[in-house]
């Protein structure tokens, strides 16, 4: 392939999909694809996105000023002043727009006209329309809203804007990602996912695209027999080397004139791995931090709070069997040693290599030898009562190899929540088990850390933005902008870049074959596109 395939990324978030298709750290892989347009509406996600687009211009060799920013916490420089050409290129390919509003059409229409005129239809169009209206959690929230009418919720119909662009651009491949809950989502008794499948298939006329599942349950499931099997589009990320059980829907649409000429072995299919990647193998070597206290925080105050928590939880240990007592007490002692030693702080330098239990390809993807400390790695503050619950939960997980349910907590650790004893939210405090993939990292992590407790009792805290980013497979040199809450939201909403990278490789086989066989024809029609 002589020329990179241009890629348009809509609803980009902080750029997880784009990083997979054009990784900043790998000039070899980045030559396969070129991100020509990324669109995101949220300011801080956009700030993260444009910074990464800027870094992409350096072909794997980041500016020294960028490493100064990460390693020495220097003020962020004026990139446009230092590197005007690279910054202008990043601004051209990255737009802050809310797709679906009255103002988006003109700007996006102009960009797509230019892309179509320059590249024809040899383009990949991808994106993940906002998922709040489709997710199970989102639907649970709106179910309690008086006068809520899903048919009038504009978030339900973002996919239609995506399909409008498909119909005008006619890209050779489309890729749409969303939450698993979209499969069961409906409006006025019409299934949203069925509408999406029909929409992709007929985006440019009847049967103009053929659908592919990236992880079908059996070989040979293609096209027609997918229409009644929506679950075939679910990708379980832990099966593909992601240290997280994140289950998402991916629809690949291949333009039919191309699909009909492809050999069977060229259709995209992700390759499953034998062993799951654990939380410990990815974040276990990250420098340890203590949790913070939400009030009157200091190392001494934290030590006193943890010591008191150890004493109180010791009462519970007496109710266990002897061999369970030994394991539980050993976990508590880890916390007591940290409290007494006072050697942990809320942020820490250092960047030790990842565990050898982490596969080499993932280690290479995440680790940057030029970093002397990890960005976005600072603990959040917790109330003393929650700190005590975190210690109990992490110690319980070490003892029983599972996260405790509310029934497992001793009465003196019961939270003052109306639903505590109803079993409706039985896993309100959830430990990410060290020897298993993490549970799904979601944007809820921005609100509190209860679902994302670190497995190490000695640290007694929820995971940091950087730890969440590693579980999402963002490279360590990926800097998230905004305050900590905004950083958590970005990480939780993203597509794991290492999974996107595997998808990009699958699709590249198709695109490379098409180039070799001269299947692409550049269309010179540059007439106005009406979105």
Q: What confidence score (pLDDT) does residue 109 get?
A: 85
Given CA atoms 499, 504, 510, 512 in this order, what sign does their dihedral have? Answer: negative
Please report whether residue 222 resides in a domain.
Answer: yes
Counting the structural domains of the chain, the total is 2
- pLDDT recorded at residue 200: 94
Residue 526 lies in a domain: no
Strand runs (DSSP E) across 238-345, as ranges?
A: 247-255, 292-293
264 and 318 belong to one structural domain: no
Q: Domain for residue 479, yes or no? A: no
**Of 410, 383, 381, nearest to 395 (Cα)?**
410
Three-state secondary-structure class, residue 76: coil
Domain-located, residue 167: yes
Assess if residue 483 is contained within a domain. Answer: no
Q: Read off the pLDDT of residues 266-311 as tens digits, 9 standing for 90 and up.
A: 999 999 999 999 999 999 999 999 999 998 999 999 999 999 999 9
Helix (H, G, I), strand (E, B) or coil at 513: helix
Choose among 291, 335, 328: nearest CA to 310: 335
Structural domain of 226 = 5-273+493-516
* CATH for 52: 3.40.50.150
Q: Clarify whether residues 346 and 227 are in a common domain.
A: no
Selection from 506, 512, 513, 522 nearest residue 21 by Cα: 506
Q: In this predicted structure, what is the pLDDT of residue 132? A: 55
Same domain membership, residue 269 and residue 128: yes
Cα 216 to Cα 226: distance, rounded to the nearest angstrom:
9
- Could you count the other beta carbons within 10 Å of the beta carbon of residue 323? 9
Q: Looking at residue 427, what is its pLDDT?
A: 86
Q: What is d(CA 443, CA 446) in angstroms, rounded to the nearest whole number?
A: 6
β-strand partners of 247: 236
Quick one: 195 and 301 in the same domain? no
Q: How far apart are CA 501 and CA 336, in angstroms?
A: 42
300 and 253 within one domain: no
- Residues 129 and 211 reside in one and the same domain: yes
Q: In the prediction, which pLDDT does 527 show? A: 42
Say yes or no: 244 and 392 in one domain. no
Give 176's strand partners.
Answer: 127, 251
Is residue 373 in some structural domain? no
Instruction: Pull the structure tokens for residue 213.
Output: 């599942």
Tens digit of each residue's pLDDT (9 = 90 or more) over 227-253 = 668 899 999 999 999 999 999 999 999
Q: Are residues 220 and 303 in the same domain?
A: no
- Map residue 282 onto helix, strand or coil: helix
Same domain, 124 and 68: yes
Q: Is there a domain that residue 369 lies in?
A: no
Domain termination residue (choose one: 463, 478, 503): 463
- Predicted TM-score (pTM) of this structure: 0.93
Task: Give yes or no for a contact between 178 and 129, defined as CB atoms under 8 angstroms apart.
Answer: yes
Task: Give pLDDT < 50 ranges for the chain.
Answer: 1, 136, 139-140, 142-143, 145, 147-148, 523-527, 529
For residues 76, 77, 79 and 80, what is the CA-based torsion angle, rounded to 10 degrees? 130
User: Based on the domain organization, do 155 and 300 belong to the same domain?
Assistant: no
User: Would 477 be classed as within a structural domain?
Assistant: no
Asked if residue 203 and residue 296 are part of one domain, the reply reads no
Assess whether 317 and 413 both reside in one domain.
Answer: yes
**How many beta carbons lie within 10 A of that of residue 32, not counting itself?**
19
């Amino acid at each position: 392939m002589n020329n990179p395939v241009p890629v348009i990324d809509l609803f980009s978030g902080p750029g997880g999909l784009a990083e997979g298709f054009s990784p900043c750290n790998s000039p070899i892989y980045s030559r396969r694809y070129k991100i020509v347009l990324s669109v995101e509406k949220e300011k801080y996600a956009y700030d993260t996105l444009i910074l990464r687009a800027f870094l992409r211009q350096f072909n794997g060799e980041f500016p020294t000023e960028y490493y100064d920013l990460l390693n020495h916490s220097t003020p962020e420089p004026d990139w446009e002043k230092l590197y005007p050409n690279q910054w202008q290129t990043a601004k051209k390919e990255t737009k802050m727009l809310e797709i679906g509003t009255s103002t988006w059409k003109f700007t996006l229409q102009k960009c797509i006209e230019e892309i179509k005129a320059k590249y024809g239809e040899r383009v990949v169009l991808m994106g993940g329309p906002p998922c709040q209206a489709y997710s199970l959690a989102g639907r649970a929230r709106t179910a309690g809203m008086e006068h809520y009418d899903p048919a009038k919720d504009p978030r339900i119909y973002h996919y239609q804007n995506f399909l409008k662009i498909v119909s005008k651009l006619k890209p050779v491949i489309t890729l749409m990602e969303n939450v698993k809950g979209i499969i069961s989502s409906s409006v006025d008794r019409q299934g949203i996912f069925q509408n999406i499948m029909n929409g992709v298939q007929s985006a440019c006329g009847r049967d103009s695209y053929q659908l592919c599942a990236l992880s079908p349950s059996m070989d040979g499931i293609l096209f027609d027999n997918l229409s009644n099997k929506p679950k075939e589009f679910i990708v379980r990320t832990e099966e593909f080397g992601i240290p997280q059980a994140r289950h998402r829907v991916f629809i690949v649409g291949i333009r039919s004139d191309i699909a009909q000429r492809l050999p069977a072995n060229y259709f995209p299919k992700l390759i499953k791995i034998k062993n799951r990647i654990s939380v410990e193998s990815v974040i276990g070597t990250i420098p340890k931090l203590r949790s913070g206290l939400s009030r009157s925080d200091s190392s001494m105050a934290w030590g006193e709070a943890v010591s008191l928590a150890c004493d109180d939880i010791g009462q519970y240990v007496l109710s266990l069997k002897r061999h369970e007592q030994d394991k539980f007490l050993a976990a508590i002692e880890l916390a007591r040693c940290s409290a007494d030693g006072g050697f942990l702080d809320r942020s820490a330098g250092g960047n030790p290599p990842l565990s050898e239990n982490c596969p080499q390809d993932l280690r290479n993807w995440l680790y940057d030898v030029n970093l002397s400390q990890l960005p976005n790695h600072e603990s959040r503050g917790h109330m003393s009562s929650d700190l005590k619950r975190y210690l109990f939960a992490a110690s319980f997980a070490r003892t029983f190899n599972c996260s405790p349910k509310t029934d497992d907590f001793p009465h003196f650790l019961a939270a003052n929540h109306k639903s505590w004893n109803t079993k409706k939210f039985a896993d309100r405090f959830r430990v990410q088990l060290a020897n298993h993939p993490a549970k799904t990292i979601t944007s809820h992590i921005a609100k509190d850390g209860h679902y994302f407790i670190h497995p190490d009792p000695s640290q007694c805290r929820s995971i940091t933005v950087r730890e969440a980013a590693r579980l999402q497979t963002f490279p360590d040199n990926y800097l998230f902008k905004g305050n900590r809450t905004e950083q958590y939201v970005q990480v939780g909403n993203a597509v794991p870049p290492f999974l996107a990278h595997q998808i990009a490789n699958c699709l590249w086989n198709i695109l490379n074959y098409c180039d070799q066989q001269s299947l692409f024809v550049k269309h010179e029609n540059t007439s106005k596109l009406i979105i």
